[in-house]
Structure formats: C-alpha cells, structure tokens
C-alpha cells in the first residue's frame, strides 16, 4: 500500500494514526465484552476504519456527519467521551438515548453528528436538509453522509442524490463499498461496474478512493470539502474496502470465500499505516506502545465509569413526556377557543382579546382554501426561517393554488419546487430542523404520503424521543373523497398516523380553524400532520380574522349543543352531521375533534356523560378508523354514562371508487341517517 504524505506534517500524520488506532482498540475490547455478555450486539467496522477516521478528520468540527453502524471512527474522531459512548451501547441513562436505542442509533448536536435509523437510507436525505440550511444561510460548510453498497439499492439513495444534485447542495455522499450487503454479494445487488459510474447520471462529480488508505481518504475529503465550501455542489465518493467480520457478530462470515479474507488482511488499514510510519521514521516503537497504552487506559476508564451507572429505572412520566418537545404557545398569539357552526361562529365564540381584535382590525369572509393560504402566508412572515417544499408549489402555486403568489413575496429559496420524491423531502425537512429552521412539506395529495411514510413514522416521530432532537416540520395533506377522483386521490389516511406517538395530527373542518390550526402547527416545534379536505376548499366560507392567531392543538370544539345525542366527528363529517341535525331537528351535541392526536379526552367525556347516546362518525373506512379507538376509550372510561350501545359510522371497507354513484355509496352519509334513527330509538 502506497502512502503519499504530500505536504502534511509529522504531527498531522501521527494524529491520523492515533485516530485510526483508537476505534480498532475499542472494537477489540468490545468483542471481548460481547463474549462476556456485557454488550448485547456489535456491528464491527474492523477493516473499514480508515474511511470514518480519514473523512471525519478532514472536516471542520462544526460540519455535520451522518454515520452508519460501522463508523465508530466518526464518533471517536469527534472526541465523544468514551464513558458516554460505552453507556450508550449498554443501554444506560448516561448514553445519548437514555437507554431507548442501541449502538450508533443516536445523534449529538454538540458533536455535530446525526445517527442512523435501521432503515439505512433515510439519513442521506437528512444530510440534504442540513446542507440546504447552510446554503440558505450562506454558510461555507459541507455535510458528509455514508451509505453501504447494499443500502445504496434503496430508493432513498436515489432520491437524496437527485435532490442534492438538483439543488446543488454541498454534500459528500461516501459509499463504503465492502462488497456485501449482509450476506448478499455486490453482483446480486447491482449490475454496474463501480459507483463512480452513477455520479454523472445524477449530474455530479464522482471519485473513487482506496478506503483502506487513511491518508488518501483524508486528503481526498479535505480537498473536496475545501472546494465545496466555495462552490456548493454534491460529490459521490466511493471508498473501496472490506469488512473482516460479519455484518454483526452473530451472523458470522461463512458466506464469504476465505481467499477474500486472506487478500484483504494484507490491506489492513491500521497495520499498513503503522508500518509505513515506522519505516519513514515518523513513528518509533516507543511511541507506538505509548499510544496504545494511553488509549487502552482511556478505554478502561471509560468502561469503569459506564459500568458504575445503573440501568435505567422506568419512569412513566419521563417516557411519555419525552415523546414530544415541551411547548407553550407564544404570548402574543391570539388563541381561538370557539364553537363553530358550518364555519360561522356562534354563542360568543371568541375570547375577549380576539373580540377586541375583530372590532379593531376586522374579519374577512374567506373560503377554506383562502384561510389555509392566509395562515401559511402569515406564518412565512412570522418565521423567516420557515422553508416551504413541495411539488409544483413555486411559480405554479401548487395544484390547489394555495401558494399562488408566494414566490413573488418570499422567493424561490424559501418556496421550493421539489422533484417527485416524498421521502427525500421529508428527510430534508428534518435536516432543516436540526439546523434550527422550520419546514413545511406539501403532499400534492395525502395519498402520496406512502412514498414518504418511513421518514414520517420512524424519523420525524421518533427523533425527539430517541436523542432529544425535535422535528419542527409540518406536513400538509390534501385529503378526502367526494370529488370523484378515484382510489389514489381520495383516501382518508389520517388513522395511519394517529397510531404513531411523536406526531401530532390536526384536521380542521372550517375556515376559522383551518387558519388557526395551521398557524398553531408552525408554532409547535413537533412534527404536525395537517389534513385539509379538498372538497371543503371552495365549498364553504366564513368570517376569518385578518390578523395572525392560533387555534389550540388538542382541543375539540362543540359546534352544536343538545341533550339527547352526541355525534363525535371531524373534517367533512362535521358538515354531514350538521346537515342531518338541521334536517331532522336533532337535539344533539356535535363535537368537532379538530385534533386527532392528541384528541381531547375531556371534551369527549363531557359530551358522553351529558347525553349517554354516542355516535362516532368519520369519512375514513370503518375498520381501523379513529372512531374505533375513541369508542374503546369511551367503553373503558365512561361505560356507566352510556344509555345505549356505542355506534360507529364510516366509509365502506373498500378502496374508494371513481364513479360518482359508487363513491356516494362508499361514503357514510346515508348510513349516518340510519344509525342516528337506530340510536334514538334504542
């Protein structure tokens, strides 16, 4: 193996050596502890250390790195205290996830590291978001993220590289090509000759390095980083290497031909670099032993401290509390706590402060779609760090024209058209949040969220719980049927997300809440899914306050009062219930949930205890809909107050048909009438 020292000083070369040696000695110790049962699982990076170490040391300390589970050298290269690192692996409270996640599944903003999730690919898009934040702020920084050759088969890899190329983001995508994805060899993963062949197809530079040569990796990444800071763009860097142990220790290596181990053993990154330093007189035997003993003492001390820390004591309050970042609405926000009838306020709906505001500054009659646009515009004015992303949202104004005119006011840097890649854009939104910015992602239709599902439920939702990093992201979801749009543009999929702790889910039924809940979603530092019903866009209107205000997340609204029956619903269901109540002159409560996660238990309990007859209504299909969850809660907590069986009304358990007559049968309006009559006659 050839090492070209170029103009690097002996001090730099020895610093690389110590940084390379440290993860190797830690790994050797961890393999012993694994056999002793003191570590539960281990993903070895032996043979690949030069990539992590060389790339990490080539960056500025405040530049973000997004490693995988074989990149121990990233963490040691950023000088993470070993006692905390060991505590993380042991599941101790002093680890970075308080025992909630394992190995390298954590991040630390202090050390500018964002850890992986087990799905491998999503962190590539998060790197895009971090780099985008730097580019928007004119900070000359680069971001480095890693992928294995196996993980590069995932769609997230393609999406992240494509977005980085289109937006010219300063990201170095390092592909650790060790020839295997767990046990699957490269020739069963892809047919191209080399990853450098992929770069030009994305419109980006591609470079290949010997991943076992720490000096070559260091010099290449250092040179690229210096260039990218001045000329932002992405680069694909393929590092050829080999792992000398199994995917993880339990999986073994029987699937790998022995001759490959023999070949790559001759290319050991630590041994070869050490031999070269000794041969060049840069390192002597005394210093070699001294470095090893110093690192070993540091390891033993770190283990001593970590071992003394007790295992976590389960705290219900802490576990539930850490799912979300704590948040109090800003004092200047004017919070609505109204009752609303078909979008019109009744029964003294406004707070004293808001009544004064209405008198002084007035209201304007706005359609549902206009109220959403108004709330979005005022939030953009209020938060200069807010970035909007979505397909066709810039000059075109979005398919529903909600962002029409936004480019003229806010510019294309903040109102960004995206490629067709929901996963990458949601991941980029998390990256923006890591850098202290707010982000909105518009799903062109709620149906398309499936393409970004993993990022939402596993990255956005779990980030704060895992390592304290909130996802300040709003995902707008045009939803619902009634427009004869068929199976892929009409689904009500809110229940997919109400099952996911860490998310908040809101669903306004009227223009006043449409603006107020959207503004509240942007104020809230947690990930919020904002469902907006397409059929309501231009079919309803109401006087909406002109000034900025918020409607509280988590609070239901009683839109009609009565003493015989309670209908609990949301979205278009509110209007179906109101229409039927008017037609039949029902003496009923109609409770608009407004927020579906967390839903308002107190308001539900109050109406159930008051009336004793309860009907749960939603547009979503009946089976698995939110009504079943709320009904179970009522049966558990309010059973003594019930005077009749709980009833649920939802759409048919089928896909949504295209033909209007079939869609009408699918939707629950007719079944709602039958259920109300049955419940009243019980």
Q: Is the dihedral of CA 123, 128, 129, 133 positive or negative?
A: positive
Is 105 one of the annotated active-site residues of the chain?
no
- 490 DSSP 8-state letter: -
CB atoms within 10 A of CB 472: 26
SS3 642: coil
CA 279 to each of CA 10, 233, 291, 469: distance values in angstroms, whole numbers, following the listed order: 13, 39, 17, 47
CB 447 within 8 A of CB 490: yes
* Helix, strand, coil percentages for the chain (3-state, nearest 5): 45, 15, 40
419's CB contacts (< 8 A; 6+ apart) are 159, 162, 163, 166
| Active-site choice (105, 111, 489, 618) | 489
Q: Is 326 exposed, middle or buried (0-12, 13-18, 19+ CB in 10 A)?
A: exposed
Give the end-to-end CA distance of the chain in Å, rounded to a whole number: 86
CB 272 within 8 A of CB 208: no
Question: Minimal CA–CA distance to 656: which of 453, 422, 487?
Answer: 487
E strands within 64-218? 65-66, 143-148, 171-177, 180-181, 184-185, 205-210
CA 432 to each of CA 425, 426, 539: distance values in angstroms, whole numbers, following the listed order: 10, 10, 35
CB 502 within 8 A of CB 460: yes
Alpha helices by DSSP H, 592-680: 601-611, 626-637, 660-666, 669-680
Angle at 495 between CA 472 and CA 523, to 5 degrees: 20
146's CB contacts (< 8 A; 6+ apart) are 51, 66, 67, 68, 71, 174, 175, 176
SS3 92: coil
Q: What is the C-alpha to C-alpha distance for residues 473 and 525, in angstroms, rounded to an integer?
A: 7
Q: At what angle do helices 49-57 and 214-230 cross, to 10 degrees?
A: 40
SS3 372: helix
CB 667 within 8 A of CB 651: yes
Residues acting as catalytic residues: 489
């Amino acid at each position: 193996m050839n090492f070209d020292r170029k103009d690097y000083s002996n001090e730099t070369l020895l610093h690389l050596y110590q940084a390379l040696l440290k993860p190797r000695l830690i790994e050797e110790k961890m393999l012993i502890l694994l056999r002793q049962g003191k570590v539960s699982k281990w993903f070895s990076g032996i043979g690949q250390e030069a990539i992590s170490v060389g790339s990490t040391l080539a960056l500025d300390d405040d530049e973000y790195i997004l490693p995988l589970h074989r990149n121990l050298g990233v963490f040691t290269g950023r000088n993470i205290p070993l006692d905390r690192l060991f505590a993380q692996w042991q599941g101790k409270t002093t680890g970075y996830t308080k025992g909630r996640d394992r190995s390298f599944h954590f991040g630390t903003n202090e050390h500018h590291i964002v850890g992986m999730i087990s799905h491998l690919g999503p962190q590539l898009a998060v790197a895009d978001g971090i780099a985008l934040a730097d580019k928007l702020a004119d900070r000359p920084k680069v971001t480095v993220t890693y992928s294995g050759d196996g993980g590069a088969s995932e769609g997230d890899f393609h999406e992240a590289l494509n977005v980085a190329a289109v937006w010219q983001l300063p990201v170095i995508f390092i592909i650790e090509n060790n020839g295997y994805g767990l046990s699957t060899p490269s020739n069963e993963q892809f047919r191209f000759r080399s990853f450098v062949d992929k770069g030009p197809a994305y419109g980006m530079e591609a470079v290949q390095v010997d991943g076992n040569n720490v000096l070559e990796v260091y010099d290449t990444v250092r040179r690229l980083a210096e260039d990218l800071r001045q000329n932002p763009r992405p680069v694909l860097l393929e590092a050829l290497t080999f792992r000398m142990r199994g995917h993880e220790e339990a999986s073994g290596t029987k699937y790998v031909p022995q001759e490959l181990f023999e070949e790559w053993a001759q290319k050991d990154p630590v041994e070869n670099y050490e031999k070269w330093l000794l041969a060049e007189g840069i390192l002597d035997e005394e210093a070699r032993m001294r470095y090893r003993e110093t690192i070993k003492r540091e390891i033993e001390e770190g283990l001593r401290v970590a071992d003394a820390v007790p295992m976590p004591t389960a705290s219900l309050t802490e576990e539930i509390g850490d799912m979300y970042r704590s948040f109090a609405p800003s004092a200047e926000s004017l919070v609505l706590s109204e009752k609303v009838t078909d979008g019109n306020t009744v029964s003294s709906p406004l707070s004293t402060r808001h009544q004064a505001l209405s008198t002084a500054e007035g209201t304007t009659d706005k359609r549902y779609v206009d109220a959403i646009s108004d709330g979005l515009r005022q939030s953009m004015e209020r938060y200069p760090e807010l970035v909007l992303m979505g397909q066709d949202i810039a000059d075109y104004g979005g398919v529903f024209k909600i962002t029409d005119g936004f480019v003229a006011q806010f510019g294309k840097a903040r109102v960004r058209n995206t490629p067709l890649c929901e996963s990458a854009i949601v991941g980029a939104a998390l990256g923006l949040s890591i850098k202290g910015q707010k982000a909105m992602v518009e799903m062109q239709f709620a149906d398309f969220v499936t393409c970004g599902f993993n990022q939402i439920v596993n990255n956005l939702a779990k980030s704060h719980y895992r390592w304290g990093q909130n996802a300040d992201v709003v995902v707008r979801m045009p939803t619902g049927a009634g427009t004869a749009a068929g199976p892929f543009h009409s689904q009500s999929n809110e229940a997919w997300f109400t099952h996911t702790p860490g998310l908040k889910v809101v669903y306004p039924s009227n223009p006043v809440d449409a603006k107020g809940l959207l503004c509240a979603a942007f104020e809230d530092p947690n990930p919020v899914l904002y469902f907006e019903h397409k059929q309501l866009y231009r079919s309803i209107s109401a006087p909406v306050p002109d000034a900025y205000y918020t409607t509280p997340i988590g609070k239901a609204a009683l839109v009609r009062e009565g003493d015989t029956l309670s209908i609990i619903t949301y979205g278009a269901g509110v209007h179906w219930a109101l229409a039927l109540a008017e037609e039949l002159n029902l003496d009923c409560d109609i409770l608009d949930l407004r927020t579906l996660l967390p839903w308002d238990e107190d308001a539900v309990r109050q109406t159930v205890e008051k009336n004793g007859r309860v009907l749960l209504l939603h547009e979503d299909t009946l089976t698995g809909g939110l009504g079943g969850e709320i009904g179970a809660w009522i049966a558990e907590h309010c059973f003594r107050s019930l005077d009749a069986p709980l009833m649920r009304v939802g759409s048919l358990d089928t896909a949504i048909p295209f033909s209007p007559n079939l869609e009408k049968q699918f939707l629950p309006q007719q079944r709602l009438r039958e259920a109300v009559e049955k419940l009243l006659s019980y």
